[in-house]
């Protein structure tokens, strides 16, 4: 793609980066076949190629974000299926991240949109606030169908509808888990939303690692990885959260040492693995962030490396494996989870159209509930076509989204691996 930035514009490192990304695009259109919003809506501006044109025009002309651009960027799931598909290696992830930051800097959203985004940014990344909000959401859930009839209240209705009935009433224990046979030492990112609505995932992770000789520590001071606000363009908030995590991990790395930072929410893993890029122009944090990203591993990635031992499926179960977008497209982890489940003795089935997003995408199912619901229905139909006994996935957002559309139990992959290695029966199985 030809670009026409001035030399003064290219002196800005962000514009220089965007220019390099834009110039790789050759307009081939391969991305349209795998873009969920284009597949659903058929609008060129709701494809990666169309959004690239809108971003190019905004940046070249150095103008504020237009309502048209905001509409189509907001509809992007950041599922990154286009990145997997693109033969030219266009770094769409960092281009759309830059567009979202510019939207927040130059565009004033309508009041209802500003309010819901502020609510999300202040509640979801903070477990204490999240627990309180979850309790209130359960009380307000019966009103969700009525709220959905009012267009500006649809995001609030979606929040109420997605609120799970379970969840933790108190914080997770943060004490280290010591293994009998020490083969390694890792830090576990316990997360924000997941630690509240599904603390059993972290518990299963710690048991599985300890059973394999891995000491597990939860670094003091770590919190939300920054992904939630990062993908809303709230860059100052996201970077501040990331810095706190980097400081917490570096303290452990420089203290007793870490073999890995293990993450069991693939959306978080994609962001932490990107810390090196996010801080590449920060003289204070560039080197530290790169060190953190270098040793970050998804739990299935780490278990594949150390080897699954003593696993035997406690039941004969057909498991539909849903690969989260942040797993298969963001982190390029495609075979490890499925292979681990098979080694544990489960009958694993691939899901048709597995490359398409379920509609969760962080906060997307709150901010774009209509499109998210259509994607969920499509995903559930494809999953249920395999006639599974269980559904496995590696991301809390996908678990919440898919669970709201099917009666088939949806579990984290690590819960099944822990169960197969002698852990308790997952609570969601009753």
Tokens of 91: 């770094």
| Percentage, residues of the chain above pLDDT 90 | 85
**Is 179 a member of any domain?**
no
Tokens of 35: 């873009």
**Is 30 a member of any domain?**
yes
Residues 216 and 186 sit within 8 Å (Cβ to Cβ): yes
The model's pLDDT over 124-149, given as tens digits with 9 standing for 90+, comes to: 999 999 899 888 888 888 888 888 88
Domain count, the chain: 4
* Domain harbouring 417, CATH code: 3.40.50.1860
Same domain, 257 and 321: no
pLDDT at 161 over 50: yes
Query: Structural domain of residue 18, as residue ranges?
Result: 7-106
**Is 429 a member of any domain?**
no
Tokens of 165: 């009935």
Task: Tokens 């962001």: give the residue.
Answer: 271
Closest by CA to 152, choosing from 103, 116, 123, is 116
Same domain, 270 and 320: no
pLDDT at 175 over 80: no
Same domain, 223 and 265: yes
Same domain, 197 and 299: yes
Tokens of 233: 């363009």
The model's pLDDT over 271-282, given as tens digits with 9 standing for 90+, comes to: 999 999 999 999
**Is 428 a member of any domain?**
no
Q: Which residue, of 303, 320, 349, is where some domain finishes?
A: 303
Contacts of 228 (CB under 8 A, 6+ apart): 120, 121, 124, 125, 192, 193, 362, 363
Computed on alpha carbons and rounded to an integer, the radius of gyration of the chain in Å comes to 21
Please report the beta strands in 232-295, taking only residues with DSSP state E, as ranges in sequence order. 260-263
Residues 264 and 202 sit within 8 Å (Cβ to Cβ): yes
Distance CA 88, CA 394 (A): 28
Residue 173: the pLDDT is: 57
pLDDT at 172 over 60: no
Distance CA 288, CA 259 (A): 16
**Is 430 a member of any domain?**
no
Distance CA 403, CA 383 (A): 12
Same domain, 315 and 417: yes
């Amino acid at each position: 793609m030809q670009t026409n930035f001035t030399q003064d514009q290219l002196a800005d490192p962000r514009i220089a980066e965007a220019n390099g990304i834009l110039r790789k695009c050759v307009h081939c259109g391969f991305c349209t076949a795998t873009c969920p919003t284009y597949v659903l809506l058929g609008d060129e501006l709701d494809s990666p190629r169309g959004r690239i044109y809108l971003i190019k025009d905004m940046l070249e002309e150095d103008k504020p974000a237009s309502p048209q651009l905001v509409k189509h960027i907001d509809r992007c799931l950041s599922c990154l299926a286009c990145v997997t598909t693109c033969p030219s290696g266009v770094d769409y992830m960092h281009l759309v991240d830059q567009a979202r930051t510019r939207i927040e800097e130059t565009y004033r959203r309508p009041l209802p949109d500003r309010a819901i985004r502020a609510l999300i940014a202040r509640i979801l990344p903070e477990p204490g606030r999240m627990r309180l909000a979850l309790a209130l959401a359960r009380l307000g859930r019966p009103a969700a169908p009525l709220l959905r009839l009012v267009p500006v209240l649809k995001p609030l209705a979606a929040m109420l509808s997605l609120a799970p009935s379970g969840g933790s009433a108190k914080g997770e224990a943060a004490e280290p888990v010591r293994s009998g046979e020490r083969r390694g030492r890792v830090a576990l990112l316990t997360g924000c939303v997941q630690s509240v609505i599904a603390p059993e995932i972290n518990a299963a992770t710690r048991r599985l690692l300890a059973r394999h000789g891995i000491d597990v520590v939860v670094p003091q001071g770590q919190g939300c990885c920054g992904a939630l606000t990062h993908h809303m363009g709230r860059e100052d908030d996201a970077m501040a959260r990331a810095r706190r995590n980097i400081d917490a991990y570096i303290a452990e790395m420089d203290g007793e040492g870490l073999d890995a930072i293990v993450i069991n929410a693939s959306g978080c893993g994609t962001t932490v693995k990107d810390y090196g890029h996010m801080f590449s122009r920060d003289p204070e944090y560039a080197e530290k962030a790169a060190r953190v990203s270098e040793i970050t591993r998804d739990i299935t990635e780490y278990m594949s490396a150390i080897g699954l031992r003593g696993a035997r499926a406690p039941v004969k179960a057909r498991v539909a494996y849903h690969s989260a977008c942040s797993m298969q497209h963001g982190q390029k982890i495609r075979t490890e989870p499925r292979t681990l489940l098979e080694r544990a003795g489960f009958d694993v089935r691939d899901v048709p159209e597995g490359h398409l997003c379920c509609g969760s995408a962080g906060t997307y199912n709150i901010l774009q509930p209509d499109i998210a619901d259509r994607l969920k229905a499509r995903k559930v139909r494809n999953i249920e076509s395999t006639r599974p006994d269980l559904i496995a996935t590696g991301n809390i957002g996908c678990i919440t989204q898919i669970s709201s559309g099917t009666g088939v139990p949806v579990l984290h992959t690590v819960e099944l691996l822990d169960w197969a290695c002698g852990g308790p029966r997952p609570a969601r199985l009753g």
